[in-house]
Amino acid sequence: MSLSFRQSDILDIASTEGRVTVDGLAERFGVTVQTIRRDLSELSDMGKLDRVHGGAVLRSGVSNIGYEDRRGLNEEAKQRIAARCAADIPDGCSVFLNIGTSTEAVARQLLGHKNLMVVTNNMNVANILVDNPDCEIVVAGGVLRRADGGLVGSLTAATIRQFKFDRAIIGCSALDADGDLLDFDLQEVQVSQAIIAQARHTCLVADQSKFQRPAPGRIASMADIDTVYTDAPLPGNLPDLCRDWQTEIILCR
């Protein structure tokens, strides 16, 4: 698909400013917001931009999208994924929830669960689950990443190794064609690897935007994951690989 002149200009603006808004672009180009939404959707389909609530952000391969923008990215899909994942978590079990907006969505779906023990390195998850009086919350210590409330580093990994979880619910920044889970922060990669090692059953929650983004740090293979909750069929030959790996794929539509 070739770019229109307006779409090329939109990319130039995004390259300069990092983010564009639907309303701002509509005013700038003198077109309707529906036209701009269509432009942004097409640019997203081409892998040029990532859609967020109210606009889009420039896609990056070496640094993550801003936390608030990630919250608005594919929000409805994340809610469907979270609801299905939480429905499969029984009362009375121990659960780890790691850093990410998808795992935070799962935490909100756990507010009605009973007799849970949740360990997390995500301050936002801990604050969400405060509203569930039947949930014991353990926060894994470490270096606080102010941008998103995550706790990372060797202290966090050491704390995680003191536990054995019934379920680990993890997110990732990207998922590549080889089936590797990827992230931007190498300290977070170390923590995620410790989580997978200490879980009896590991679940990945990842919407389809993760299929289109690169990231430099390798966490693990989907072969190390028991269940994947997503909102679209996996690309390429990943479905066949997952069958070989006995990794269950659950589509949440």
- CB atoms closer than 10 angstroms to residue 186: 11
- Domain of residue 22 covers 5-59
228 and 141 share a domain? Answer: yes
For the domain that residue 51 is a member of, what is the CATH number?
A: 1.10.10.10
pLDDT < 70 positions in the chain: 1-2, 16, 18, 59-73, 212
| Pairing label, strands 180-183, 217-221 | antiparallel
Burial bucket for residue 31 (CB in 10 Å: 0-12, 13-18, 19+): middle
Place of tokens 């779409």: 7
Do 22 and 127 reside in the same domain of the chain? no
Q: What pLDDT, on the 0 to 100 scale, is given for residue 50?
A: 82
105, 130: one domain: yes
Contact in structure between 82 and 95 (CB atoms under 8 Å): no
| Residues 45 and 167 reside in one and the same domain | no
Pairwise CA distance, residues 17 & 105, whole Å: 29
Q: Which of 57, 96, 51, 54 is nearest to 78 (CA)?
A: 51
| Dist. CA 251–CA 29, nearest whole Å | 38
Claim to verify: residue 126 and residue 201 sit in the same structural domain: yes
Same domain membership, residue 119 and residue 26: no
pLDDT of residue 149: 92
Q: Is residue 169 part of a domain?
A: yes
Phi, psi of 199 (to 5 degrees): -110, 140
70 within some domain: no
- Is 134 inside a domain boundary? yes
69: helix, coil or strand?
A: helix
Count of domains forming the chain:
2
Q: Is residue 162 part of a domain?
A: yes
Strands 49-52 and 55-58: antiparallel
The predicted model scores a pTM of 0.76
Torsion of CA 57, 58, 59, 63, to 10 degrees: -90
Residues in the chain: 253
Quick one: 102 and 205 in the same domain?
yes
